[in-house]
Amino acid sequence: MKGRFVIGTRRSRLALWQAGHVKSRLEALHPDVGVELLPMSTRGDELLEATLAQAGGKGLFVKELEAALADGRADLIVHSMKDVPVELPEGFTLAAITERGDARDVFVSGRYASIAELPPGSVLGTSSLRRQAQILERYPALTVRPLRGNLDTRLAKLDRGEYAAIVLAAAGLARLGLSARVRSVLTVDESLPAAGQAALGIECLSARAEVMALVAPLADSATTACVRAERAVNRALGGNCAIPLGAYAELHGSTIRLRALVASPDGRRIARAEAEGDASGPEPLGHRVAELLRQRGAAEILAALSP
């Protein structure tokens, strides 16, 4: 394969790392191919005062990049899969989902070693209603406040003393060589990850068969099956970032174990469900877990969140 391909990416250091990682892998697989990065600013990067739910959702990180695909400035774009809306616009497709990193959340603080050590009333920062709900369920005496901005900005806010501690994704810190900032790792039982967390997705136009062929070797079958199951839960429940929803799947042989939850933002109501299914049918498994969640109170929680 020969030619020149452009990867559209957000400008944050983490997004540039992720796009650069894909670029390096493509160049190693296809020595005759030229790959360039097109860094872009998105509305999600610019609107830092409101929470994602208030500002319009995680799709704010995607729309400008998809516009670059549509008008030919970019041939493919790289996302954190947890930022990708469950429904893509017509004419766009996820061409590959790469091997997942560490999907867990982590606790970061200059003074405290774990959430359990935080005194009552301590201010903990997180960008995620999903994390907020799970933290408040176990530690209702804490004060959880929104934390926006890229990874470096969030760490700077912590270091300035605006928060006693913050909760971040393990994979992002690892990718930027910042794992030393982690004080403790939250287990999946303590903080169920977001659908797609720690996996990268590569999006292109559905009509670009040559781009899909270019990136196909980067797809990881195990991660793809798990993320498809997780996203199916999200899709079945009308998922967006205004819903505190976690979904995490693990592959054991040919079987997927899928866990999911829906919560009220204050953590007072949480519906949990899990099931196992064949890896060849991740979407039906996701739909089954979504139905279990509805039976266990998710419908009422979601109704209370509706405007």
Whether residue 91 is found in the same domain as residue 213:
yes
Whether residue 15 is found in the same domain as residue 160:
no
What is the per-residue pLDDT across 106-155, written as a single tens digit (0 to 9) for each? 999 999 999 999 999 999 999 899 999 999 999 999 999 999 899 999 99
- Two structure tokens written together for 287: 């739909």
What is the per-residue pLDDT across 252-276, written as a single tens digit (0 to 9) for each? 999 999 999 999 999 999 999 999 9
Catalytic residue numbers read 83
Whether the per-residue pLDDT at 7 is higher than 70: the answer is yes
| 61 in any annotated domain | yes
- Note the pLDDT of residue 306: 75
CATH number of the domain encompassing residue 288? 3.30.160.40
Whether residue 206 is found in the same domain as residue 123:
no
Average pLDDT over residues 86-100: 96
Nearest in space to 67 (alpha carbons), one of 97, 42, 94, 45: 42
CA distance 43 to 202: 20
pTM over 0.85: yes
Total number of domains constituting the chain: 3
DSSP-derived letter for residue 296 is I
| 237 in any annotated domain | yes
| 192 in any annotated domain | no
| 191 in any annotated domain | no
Whether residue 175 is found in the same domain as residue 134:
yes
Whether residue 124 is found in the same domain as residue 86:
no
| 194 in any annotated domain | no
| 193 in any annotated domain | no
Strands 165-169 and 123-126: parallel
Q: Quote the domain boundaries for residue 290.
A: 230-305
- Note the pLDDT of residue 199: 98
What mean pLDDT is reported for the chain?
93
Residue 3's pLDDT band, with cuts at 50, 70 and 90, is: confident
Sole residue written with tokens 């670009």:
208
CATH number of the domain encompassing residue 133? 3.40.190.10
Of all residues in the chain, the percent with pLDDT exceeding 90 is 86
Of all residues in the chain, the percent with pLDDT exceeding 70 is 92
- Note the pLDDT of residue 50: 47
